[in-house]
Structure 1
Amino acid sequence: MEGLPGLRRRHFIAGLYIPWAAGPSRAQGRGPHRILVVGDSLSAEYGLRRGSGWVALLAQRLAAQKIPAEVRNASISGDTTSGGRARLAALLADFQPTLVVLELGGNDALRGLPLKNTADNLAAMTQAAQQAGARVLIVGMQMPPNYGAAYGRQFADLFAEVARTHKAGLVPFLLEGVADGPDAAALFQADRIHPREEAQAAMLDNVWPELRKLLR
């Protein structure tokens, strides 16, 4: 895909696979909160040092605030909502999460998959997690402007619609203040697609308020 031509350009995830990205990332101790993150390369530490991504920072923040929780990062670079839907049942049975974070959908758009398919898959995952006794937080993504304003709105709106319909939590844009901020160019890796380590704290800050609500 094209590189970053300006500071306000938004980006997408690459279709690469990193085997270790699906492994667990745990906070200290097992507590009443078990948080399962099902995402793509934005959550799988693509191009980053192990333990420096926003999911690892989440585990650290929970521990620092003495919130008893275990975090499992089941994110895989290049994953789509179809892929997440196919593997969610096994993850739910194995980990028995109390909170599921769904950070998927960007690769669907990158591959030109129908928006309805993305919405249907997110809805099915949300319902499956809720039926397993977990609360759900949907983490949204936005399209680069060259996809067109109408398509961009429809894509962003599908996350909100699924969250509203199924009474799930919502983070509208994981890369708020990163991809659309004044220092966007400096916050992305050389591929101009994946955020650098310096951006991970901002990504966690975007997720944290809504996630914290669901832990109460």
Structure 2
Amino acid sequence: MNEIKNILFFGDSLTAGYGLADAENQSFPALIQQKVNVAGLNYKVLNAGVSGDTSAGGLNRLGYWLNRPVDVFILELGINDIIRGVPPATTLTNLQKIIDQVKAKYPQIKLALMGMELPVFIPGAFAKEFRSIYRKLADSNQMAFVPFFLEGVAGIAHLNLRDGLHPSAEGYKIIADKVWPVISKLI
């Protein structure tokens, strides 16, 4: 029998499944695990999502997660940086450091980046710079890339929790269906 390989989902509340009644079964990583199981693939999903986490917080806790075998690394961080007013250049640097550490520990690892967007009504250079960091990271690191993780869900009331920021269980199903083709190519 083949050994089980690990897919590490490293992110914030959008990975953790914040606000879901049953995050263990309804979160984005849990839904991907279900798709892995249906496909008969020998992979275990690890959910390393922490609500409220920033790129700096992720960088600080990365070592803990890299102390176990990781074959596929899915990075979803950065939106909380914007909420806290962290300059996009700092977010870019922190995310690149995370990627560098992952690649240094596991040179053969397969990587995917979940991009974030800001609403178009947020004007100016700050928003434009933030929108560009994910594409830069994906291109410079040859990562599989989802340009906007919340595409098809953001701003749609019935697909989000009452806070309007976090997807509902139904919203995560849409996200998982959209992102699965990107992840499935890595495994």
Same fold (TM over 0.5): yes
CA distance in 2 between partners of 1:31 and 1:77 (Å): 31
Within-5 A mapping of 1:113-152: 113-133=86-106, 134-148=109-123, 150-152=125-127
Number of the residue aligned with 1:210:
182
Number of the residue aligned with 2:11:
39
Q: CA deviation at 1:150?
A: 4.3
Please tell me the residue identity of whatever aligns with 1:109: I
2:36 to 43, 46, 62: 62
TM-score, structure 2 normalization: 0.91
Number of the residue aligned with 2:81:
108
CA deviation profile, 1:81-105 (whole Å, cap 9, x unmatched): 1011111122111x22011111000
* Structure 1, gaps ≥5 residues long: 1-28
CA distance in 2 between partners of 1:141 and 1:178 (Å): 12
Preserved contact between residue 87 and residue 126 of structure 2 (Cα < 8 Å): no
Q: CA deviation at 1:30?
A: 8.2
CA distance in 2 between partners of 1:121 and 1:206 (Å): 27
Between stretches 30-39 and 190-199, larger displacement belongs to 30-39
CA distance in 1 between partners of 2:184 and 2:124 (Å): 32
Q: CA deviation at 1:63?
A: 0.5
Matched, 1:157 2:132: yes
2:171 to 195, 199, 202: 199
CA deviation profile, 1:13-46 (whole Å, cap 9, x unmatched): xxxxxxxxxxxxxxxx984431011111111111
Q: CA deviation at 1:151?
A: 3.5
CA deviation profile, 1:59-114 (whole Å, cap 9, x unmatched): 11100110110111010000001011111122111x22011111000000111101
CA distance in 1 between partners of 2:151 and 2:36 (Å): 22
2:61 to 76, 83, 87: 87
Please tell me the residue identity of whatever aligns with 1:63: N
The alignment partner of 2:26 has SS state of coil
Preserved contact between residue 88 and residue 126 of structure 2 (Cα < 8 Å): no
Matched, 1:48 2:20: yes
RCO higher in 1 or 2 (8 Å CA, sep ≥ 6)? 1
Number of the residue aligned with 2:148:
173
Aligned CA distance change for structure 1 residues 30 and 83 (closer, same or farther; 3 Å): farther
Aligned CA distance change for structure 1 residues 130 and 157 (closer, same or farther; 3 Å): same
CA deviation profile, 1:119-172 (whole Å, cap 9, x unmatched): 011111111111222221111111123321643332121011011112222111
Aligned CA distance change for structure 1 residues 149 and 202 (closer, same or farther; 3 Å): farther
Please tell me the residue identity of whatever aligns with 2:180: W
The alignment partner of 2:18 has SS state of coil
Matched, 1:77 2:51: yes
TM-score, structure 1 normalization: 0.80
Please tell me the residue identity of whatever aligns with 1:196: S
Preserved contact between residue 96 and residue 132 of structure 1 (Cα < 8 Å): no
Aligned CA distance change for structure 1 residues 31 and 157 (closer, same or farther; 3 Å): farther
Preserved contact between residue 99 and residue 136 of structure 1 (Cα < 8 Å): yes
CA distance in 2 between partners of 1:103 and 1:206 (Å): 15
